Amino acid sequence: MFLSFEQRVLKAFQSHIAARYGLEAGLALEQPKQPEFGELAVPVAFQLAKLLKQPPRKIAAELVSEIGPIEGVAAMEIAGAGYLNIRFDRAAYGGGLLREPAAPEPADEKIIVEHTNINPNKAAHIGHLRNTALGDTFVRMLRSRGHRVEVQNYIDNTGVQVADVVAGFHFLEKKQPEEVRALAAQPRFDYLCWDLYARTSAYYKDHPEAAAWRTETLHAIEAGEGVLAEMAHVVADAIVEAHLDTMLRLGVEYDVLPRESEILHLKFWEAAFELLKQRQAIHLESEGKNAGCWVMPAAAFSTSAESEDSKVIVRSNGTVTYVGKDIAYQLWKFGLLGKDFYYRPLRRYADGRRLWITTDQPAECPVRFGGGARVYNVIDARQSYLQDVVAAGLRALGYTGQAGRSVHFSYEMVALSPRCCVELGIELPEEDKKRPYVEVSGRKGLGVKADDLIDKLIDKALEEVEARHADRPAEERRAVASTIAIGALRYFLLKFTRNSVIAFDFQEALSFEGETGPYVQYAAVRARNIVRKLEERGETLPDFATELTPEAMGRQLQAEDFWQVLLAASKAGTAVERATIGGEPAHVAKYAFQLAQSFNNFYHQYHVLHEENREKKVFLLWMTEFFRAQLERTLEILGIAVPPYM
């Protein structure tokens, strides 16, 4: 609602300025910090002052007297050195909110978002949770704005990390495939692999000769034959399921899981290699340290540095690097490879949606994936160099448009605070003790496992629920606690902007007060409670559209605090739109918190059900309903559910 008023004002100014001064002012509207300055501030007189060489106040005065009426605007006044402060027609604004909000125009083009992308060789940890929470929330943001989104979760089931765990089972533990299969059927197989991966990595460190295990395993996986390859399948498939389960606890679902094994078997790389060679995007190095490798010159992906080395795409032994495969995958995402996967269904989600996984077995597929118009890769900032190389690959092939629409949705890592390390009983080497935080390391087994954290959050939430609702059935209390725990977790992961390093701390993550998910959930629960109580009293919700006439609306909104609160609550669309353009889920989280704060204040100040004046009571009920809807809508975008009680 706010958005459409804002746009109307913007358009009025743009066309007036173009007609009156013949200027295309790139003007931006501001929301004044002081509520008494009105709802919108137009600083355009300052810009025009420079161009026209006239004092800003004079231009502002001209604008006010000449622009004419703008629908929905009640007043326009000059303030300060030349601000134009705009006041809305409150009754018209409130009346607009009474009607159903218009759904955003559905977009035609497909957006692909790839996130999660965890090596299927161990349990997911908090770093992975940040990736998934950001990716999933961004997907929800895009969808809420009407975009068509396909969610991909890439599975590197043939890589070094899987190989290391397989090597651990085979060489270190002397396990047979059927033994591994039996273990994989047990719960928490991902935890077992977490430990084994750390043990194997440590063993490599002390026994350099064991590096041969990795090579042998990788070759076996690539050839697809023998016990090592069989074990790799067992491990990767089981861990993928574990990750899907973990992420489902957070309400995260995917459309398709493209796997590296199919990239290999269906010769995606060979197709990409041919393209890269044809267009001379890469060349065979004949001398120097990269002799015998196919490389991409640094000039292709690095802006200014001559000191940068070329990037090896194909090793001297003929195998392709990760980046090479990623270029092939990226080409497929844009539908530029001229090849496609086959798919089979992997699971069905509660809402009936199917999750598909790639296969190399030719089959009739009722679905098609890839071929997106825009691609977001949710990958941490440490991989920005590699993402630059991937985009450079597209550019070098002549796909400059696609390279521009290939977005590295980057974020900083989750690290462990020193206090957190102490709590986990991690012994830090002396040189790490004075660092501000310690990097999570799967290889070292250093980190907080996702499921452990979720369990811990549920336990804590359950204590709180039991203290308040001892009379409720245990199963129901557990469901409520779970909803609260997930709300706390998702909010915690989203409240930081993307390029802020999170130094993970249990005390902060486990907090349910202040700027947290449960605080926002609580506000929504309170709003629902009011309506529930009303019905328990034998009353029903009034028909707002007929009772709240423009006159009544105008009268009620004369009260400054009602107006301010309604205004704040009506800005959800603006907030989400801006956050989506800026690619910043944290801004949606921040808005949700402010909305909840605003409602809690309202809730405390006005006793809706006890109001005696009919018109005011109807108005207060409408405000409550409006708040509830906005809170639920915003929480939905954050992937946070509202429990029945708290």
Partner RNA sequence: GCGCCCGUAGCUCAGCCCGGAUAGAGCGUUUGCCUCCGGAGCAAAAGGUCAGAGGUUCGAAUCCUCUCGGGCGUACCA
Binding residue (CB under 7 A) for RNA from 175, 495, 571, 628: 495
Query: Comparing C-alpha atoms, which of 336, 310, 340 is closest to residue 323?
Result: 310
Quote the CA–CA distance of 492 and 497 in Å, as a whole number. 11
With respect to RNA, which residue has the nearer C-beta, 14 or 529? 529
User: Which residues inside 109-138 make contact with RNA, applying CB under 7 A?
Assistant: 119
Binding residue (CB under 7 A) for RNA from 439, 451, 577, 632: 439
Quote the CA–CA distance of 620 and 243 in Å, as a whole number. 45
Give the amino acid at 335: G
User: Which residues inside 570-629 make contact with RNA, applying CB under 7 A?
Assistant: 581-582, 584, 586-587, 590, 593, 597, 600-601, 603-610
Instruction: Say whether residue 489 binds RNA (CB under 7 A).
Output: no
Instruction: Say whether residue 205 binds RNA (CB under 7 A).
Output: no
Binding residue (CB under 7 A) for RNA from 10, 12, 46, 554: 46
Interface with RNA: number of residues (CB under 7 A)? 100
Full strand arrangement of the beta sheet holding 414-416: 438-439, 414-416, 502-504
User: Helix and strand tally (H, E) in the chain?
Assistant: 28, 16
Element (H, E) at 4: helix 2-21
Instruction: Say whether residue 635 binds RNA (CB under 7 A).
Output: no
Instruction: Say whether residue 511 binds RNA (CB under 7 A).
Output: yes
Instruction: Say whether residue 412 binds RNA (CB under 7 A).
Output: yes
Binding residue (CB under 7 A) for RNA from 513, 538, 543, 546: 513
Instruction: Say whether residue 291 binds RNA (CB under 7 A).
Output: yes
With respect to RNA, which residue has the nearer C-beta, 15 or 319? 319
Beta carbons within 8 Å of 75's beta carbon, 6+ residues apart: 38, 86, 87
Instruction: Say whether residue 30 binds RNA (CB under 7 A).
Output: yes
Binding residue (CB under 7 A) for RNA from 436, 475, 540, 612: 436
Torsions phi, psi of 125, nearest 5?
A: -120, 180
Instruction: Say whether residue 512 binds RNA (CB under 7 A).
Output: yes
Binding residue (CB under 7 A) for RNA from 289, 362, 473, 538: 289
Q: Quick check: 488 and 518 in contact, CB under 8 A?
A: yes
Per-residue three-class SS string for 99-154: CCCCCCCCCCCEEEEECCCCCCCCCCEHHHHHHHHHHHHHHHHHHHCCCEEEEECC
User: Which residues inside 524-553 make contact with RNA, applying CB under 7 A?
Assistant: 526, 529-530, 533
Q: Quick check: 137 and 116 in contact, CB under 8 A?
A: no
Q: What is the DSSP string of 411-471?
A: EPPEEE-HHHHHHTTPPPPHHHHTSS-EE-BTTTTBS-BHHHHHHHHHHHHHHHHHHH-TT
Element (H, E) at 295: strand 294-296
Instruction: Say whether residue 14 binds RNA (CB under 7 A).
Output: no
User: Which residues inside 306-325 make contact with RNA, applying CB under 7 A?
Assistant: 307-309, 312, 315-317, 319, 321-323
With respect to RNA, which residue has the nearer C-beta, 91 or 520? 520
User: Which residues inside 359-398 make contact with RNA, applying CB under 7 A?
Assistant: 381-386
Instruction: Say whether residue 451 binds RNA (CB under 7 A).
Output: no
Binding residue (CB under 7 A) for RNA from 281, 300, 421, 502: 502
The nearest distance, CB 600 to RNA, in angstroms, is 4
With respect to RNA, which residue has the nearer C-beta, 195 or 535? 535
- Residue 547 C-beta-side C-alpha neighbours within 13 Å: 15
Stretch in the footprint of RNA (CB under 7 A) among 182-190, 236-244, 297-305, 558-566: 297-305
Give the amino acid at 459: D
User: Which residues inside 62-101 make contact with RNA, applying CB under 7 A?
Assistant: 79-81, 83, 85
The nearest distance, CB 461 to RNA, in angstroms, is 5
With respect to RNA, which residue has the nearer C-beta, 360 or 432? 432
The nearest distance, CB 418 to RNA, in angstroms, is 10
Which contacts (CB < 8 Å, 24+ apart) does range 224-228 have? Answer: 224/265, 227/170, 227/176, 227/177, 228/166, 228/167, 228/170
